[in-house]
Structure 1
Amino acid sequence: MAEPGSTRVSAVVVNWRQPKLTSAAVASLDAQTGLAEAGIALSVVIVDNGSGDGSPELLRSRHPEHTVIELPDNRGFGGGVNAAIRGIHADLVVLLNNDAVADERFIASIVAPLAAHPRAAAVTARILLRDPVDGVRRVNSTGNELTRSGNGRDRDWLVPVADDHRSAGEVAGFSGGACALRMSALTEVGLFDESLFMYYEDTDLSWRLRRRGWLIRYEPGAVVTHAHASSSGTGSDLFRFWNDRNRIVISAQHAPLPVLVRALARTSFRAARSVVAAAGRGDDARHDARRTVRALAAALGALPSAWAERRRIDRSATVPRRSVAAFIVAD
Structure 2
Amino acid sequence: MGDARLTVVVITHNRCGELDRTLSSLERLPERPPVVVVDNGSSDGTCELVATRHPDVTLIAAGTNLGAVGRNVGVRRAHTAYVAFCDDDTWYDPGALSRAADLLDAHPTLAVVTGSILVEPSGTLDAICEEMASSPLQRPPGLPGHPLLSFLAGVSVVRRSAFLAAGGFSERLWLGGEEELLACDLVRAGWHLAYVPEVVAHHQASALRDAHLRRRHGIRNTLWFTWLRRPPASALRRTGRLLVRLPRDRVSVQGVLDALRGVPWVVRERHAVPPEIEQGYRLLEESQLSGRSRRYVS
Question: Is residue 329 from structure 1 mapped to residue 285 from structure 2 by the alignment?
Answer: yes
Distance 2:88 2:224 in 1: 26
Q: How does 1:251-290 map to 2 (within 5 A)?
A: 251-266=226-241, 268=243, 274=248, 288-289=249-250
Equivalenced residue count is 278
For residues 35 and 204 of structure 2, the distance between their equivalents in structure 1, rounded to whole angstroms, comes to 21
Aligned to 1:298: 258
Deviations 1:119-157 (A, max 9, x none): 00110001111144xxx82325439xxxxxxxxxx6369
Aligned to 1:281: none
Q: Which amino acid aligns with 2:281?
A: A
Deviations 1:223-270 (A, max 9, x none): 11102354425xx22122111111100111222334422343356557
Instruction: State the 1:172 CA deviation.
Output: 2.7
Q: Secondary structure at the match of 1:94?
A: strand
The equivalent of 2:99 in structure 1 is 109
Look up the SS of the partner of 1:177 in the other structure: helix
1:243 to 1:187, Cα distance in 2 relative to 1, 3 A? closer
User: In structure 2, how many angstroms separate the alpha carbons of the residues matched to 1:83 and 1:227?
Assistant: 25
Q: Which of the numbers 153, 157, 164 marks the counterpart of 1:180?
A: 157
Letter in 1 for 2:221: N
RMSD of Structure 2 on Structure 1 (CA): 2.8
Larger radius of gyration: 1
Deviation at 1:101, TM superposition (A): 2.5
Q: Does 1:218 align with 2:195?
A: yes
Residue 79 of structure 1, CA deviation: 1.4
Question: Is residue 8 from structure 1 mapped to residue 5 from structure 2 by the alignment?
Answer: yes
Note if 1:127 corresponds to 2:149.
no
After superposition, the Cα gap between the structure-2 partners of 1:244 and 1:58, relative to the gap in structure 1 and judged at 3 Å, is: same
Structure 2 distance, partners of 1:102, 1:89, is: 20
Does the 8 A contact of 1:8 with 1:90 survive in 2?
yes
Aligned partners of 1:204, 1:237: CA distance in 2, in Å?
22
User: Residues of 2 paired with 1:231 and 1:176: CA distance?
Assistant: 19
Q: How does the TM-score come out when normalised to structure 2?
A: 0.83
Residue of 21, 26, 31 corresponding to 1:24: 21
Please tell me whether the aligned partners of residues 247 and 263 of structure 1 are also in contact (alpha carbons under 8 angstroms): no
Q: 1:133-172 to 2 correspondence within 5 Å?
A: 137-142=124-129, 155=132, 168-172=145-149
Q: In structure 1, what is the equivalent of residue 56 of structure 2?
A: 65
Identity of aligned residues (%): 26
Q: How does 1:190-209 map to 2 (within 5 A)?
A: 190-209=167-186
Structure 2 counterpart of 1:305, one-letter code? W
- Name the SS of the counterpart of 1:89 in structure 2: coil
Decide whether aligned partners of structure 1 residues 44 and 31 sit closer, same or farther in structure 2, where only a CA change above 3 A counts.
same
Q: Distance in 2 between matches of 1:263 and 1:180?
A: 29
2:176–2:215 CA contact under 8 A, matched in 1:
no
Deviations 1:292-327 (A, max 9, x none): 22211110121232233232x76xx8x854354355
The answer to whether the 8 Å contact 1:100/1:225 transfers is: yes
SS of residue matched to 2:262: helix
Name 1:55's counterpart in structure 2.
46
Q: CA deviation at 1:93?
A: 0.8
3-state DSSP of counterpart to 1:121: strand
* Distance (Å, rounded) in 1 between the aligned partners of 2:50 and 2:128: 28
